[in-house]
């Protein structure tokens, strides 16, 4: 998952390679787009910028590896809470999405998402109505998430501690 903390496609642009990934926008928002040749020019002019792009690629790979392991061993309740926690980091507490979409993103049946969402809503952690999900209690959601949530947050902190903005520090504590 990539949000306002990252970039997608930078390594392909730096190496002039073809992107092999299908990218799905989970939540609508603003993004900046840069032509690959412009990014390459900037990266060669600004070594710190290039280093930042490479660092993010490392973080992204670590996140992908953690997610692969997570999908294999952690239950859907913990994985859903991990996903909600990451979404909260990336876009905040209000998410416009359907349970069908969440199920597709998590690779599970819609009925499983309905069961978990019902339990989370019953516990007062989220509210959900007609495609609008509001995260009510992020701290309790994080306690319920699998350890992959902390692992990904920790990877991010270790990679970007020196360049984090104050705003991001608040979100990543
Ligand atoms: Zn996990």
Measure 22 CA to ligand 1 centroid, in angstroms. 22
Q: What pLDDT score was predicted for residue 145?
A: 97
- Give me the pLDDT at residue 161, please: 84
User: So what's the pLDDT on residue 162?
Assistant: 62
The pLDDT assigned to 57 comes to 92
**pLDDT (0 to 100) of residue 29:** 82
Element (H, E) at 128: strand 126-129
What's the CA gap between 144 and 78, in Å, rounded? 6
Q: How far is the CA of 127 from the centre of ligand 1 (A)?
A: 23
Ligand 1 centroid to 71 CA: how many Å?
7
Q: How far is the CA of 173 from the centre of ligand 1 (A)?
A: 19
The C-alpha atoms of residue 129 and residue 171 are separated, in whole angstroms, by: 25
CA of 76 from ligand 1 middle (Å) equals 9
pLDDT for position 164: 53
Strand 126-129 relative to strand 94-96, pairing: unpaired
CA angle 119, 121, 123 (to 5 degrees): 70
Q: Give the C-alpha separation, 168 to 152, whole Å.
A: 14
| Burial (Cβ within 10 Å: 0-12, 13-18, ≥19) of residue 67 | middle
Domains and CATH numbers, the chain: 10-172 (1.10.10.10)
Helix (H, G, I), strand (E, B) or coil at 163: coil
- Tens place of pLDDT for every residue, the chain, 173 residues? 888 888 988 888 888 778 788 888 888 888 899 999 999 999 999 999 999 999 999 999 999 999 999 999 999 999 999 999 999 988 899 999 888 888 888 888 999 989 999 999 999 999 998 889 999 999 999 999 999 999 999 999 998 886 555 444 444 43
The pTM of the full predicted model, rounded to 2 decimals, is 0.82
Going from the Cα of 82 to the center of ligand 1, the distance in angstroms, rounded, reads: 7
Q: What are the tokens at 72? A: 């294999």
| Å from CA of 113 to ligand 1 middle | 16
């Amino acid at each position: 998952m990539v949000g306002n903390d990252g970039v997608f496609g930078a390594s392909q642009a730096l190496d002039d390679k073809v992107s092999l990934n299908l990218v799905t926008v989970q939540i609508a928002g603003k993004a900046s787009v840069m032509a690959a040749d412009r990014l390459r020019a900037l990266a060669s002019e600004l070594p710190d910028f290039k280093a930042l792009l490479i660092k993010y690629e490392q973080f992204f790979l670590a996140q992908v590896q953690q997610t692969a392991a997570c999908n294999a061993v952690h239950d859907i309740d913990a994985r859903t809470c991990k996903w909600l926690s990451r979404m909260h980091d990336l876009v905040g507490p209000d998410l416009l999405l359907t349970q069908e979409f969440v199920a597709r993103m998590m690779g599970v049946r819609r009925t499983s998402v309905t069961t978990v969402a019902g339990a989370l809503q019953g516990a007062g952690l989220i509210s959900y109505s007609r495609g609008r999900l509001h995260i009510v209690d992020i701290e309790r959601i994080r306690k319920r998430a699998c350890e992959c949530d902390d692992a990904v947050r920790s990877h991010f902190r270790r990679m970007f501690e020196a360049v984090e903005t104050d705003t991001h520090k608040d979100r990543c504590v």
